[in-house]
Structure 1
Amino acid sequence: MTPPTAPHVLGIDTGATTLREADHLLQALAAELALPEDVYGCTHLVRDGRPRVALSLAAGAEPVLRTARDRLTAQGYAVRDGAWDAVGRAVRYPGADALTGTLTLAEVLARSAIDRVTVLGTPDEPAPDTPLVTRDHVRPQWQDGRLVLAAMPAVGGTLVPFEDPDPTPCCADH
């Protein structure tokens, strides 16, 4: 996960065990560190005998991350150079805050760092005027150096991001 505009990357092991926990922590850390909008923040599933969700921060300027490294290390987080993998799930990226409500795919691409939208189950690119109901939760992933949002068909010819902001826990009805 190295955006072309952000060659400097830190990996942060926070001990988070769920995506929701990692998302909230990433947003809180970004606010606390006063990170500029062009800093990318991603989550990464780590499966090395101690499953957890790690974070990464990527920035175009090394001093931004040097300050973040110092402050995160002082808070007791394990910080390393580089992301955990190349397919991070972006929580924080340029334009993420502008992806609210219902937008056309053309608007999503114009307002954010997302490079492409794919639709599950179809090889075709969706039309630029297709509405995306964001549910205020848009989490694209890095694929081959591009930020790609996976979407799925929804009611009335709209799309929704594949990731549900409020997923039903497994076996919730038992």
Structure 2
Amino acid sequence: MTPPGPPYAIGIDTRATTLREADHLLQALAAELALPESVFGCTHLVRDGRPRVALSLAADAEPVLRTARDRLTAQGYDVLGGAPDAVGRAVLYPGAAGLTGTLTLAELLARSAIDGVTVLGTPDEPSPDTRLVTREHVRPQWRDGRLVLTAMPAAGGTLVPFEDPDPTPCCADH
């Protein structure tokens, strides 16, 4: 299934079992393949007999992905036509590298491919002048054809992305 956004996509079956591992793999592959900033790179949870995290790359130009497909296949990855599903969690997207520090939501939307922000527990859209503390970890998801960041309230009237960049493993203190 091809996600919204760029018209060309490939899926990459990986052996990654965590989002963190998949994020690192996606970023390493993007650097190794010298992918342009316009490429979208997403993670997708696969829940079949072998739970894992698959990847997708999407671009406006098919030759970019053809080269990526050839190189990834040569490295032993199973590369499929299209993304695994339409609800990918974006790690690579236009403007992602510039989303550091604290930004207003208006700046976040103007600087990146993110289309909107939702806040947990509130039905209304946040004000464009609301500040977001990025924690250098902004992972929006495709929802109904839009790239949407889920945020949550934080100290001082700010927001932070819902996904924690350094989550505590379950049962870490046992």
TM class by smaller structure: over 0.9
Deviations 1:43-65 (A, max 9, x none): 00000110000000000000000
Contact 2:9 2:58 in 1 (8 A): yes
- TM-score, normalised via structure 2 length: 0.98
RMSD: 0.7
Matched, 1:47 2:47: yes
Q: Aligned equivalents of 2:59 and 2:3: distance in 1?
A: 9
TM-score (norm 1): 0.98
Secondary structure of residue in 2 paired with 1:137: coil
Question: What whole-Å deviation, never above 9, does each CA across 1:13-54 have from its counterpart, x for those lacking one?
Answer: 111010000000000000000000000000000001100000
Gaps of 5+ in 2: none
Alignment of 1:1-174 (within 5 A): 2-4=3-5, 6-174=6-174
Residue 73 of structure 1 aligns with an amino acid whose one-letter code is: T
Q: Is the 8 A contact 2:3 2:88 kept in 1?
A: no
Letter in 2 for 1:35: L
Kindly report structure 1 stretches of 4+ aligned residues shifted beyond 4 Å. Answer: none
8 Å Cα contact 1:44-1:54 kept in structure 2: yes
1:111-139 deviation line (CA, Å, top 9, x unaligned): 00000000000000000000000000000
Question: 8 Å contact 1:41–1:55 — kept in the other structure?
Answer: yes
Q: Distance in 1 between matches of 2:157 and 2:17?
A: 35
How far apart are residue 3 of structure 1 and its match?
A: 3.4
How far 1:2 sits from its partner (Å)? 2.5
- Deviation of 1:173 after TM superposition, in Å, equals 1.2
Aligned residues: 173
Is the 8 Å Cα contact of residues 3 and 58 (structure 1) preserved in structure 2? no
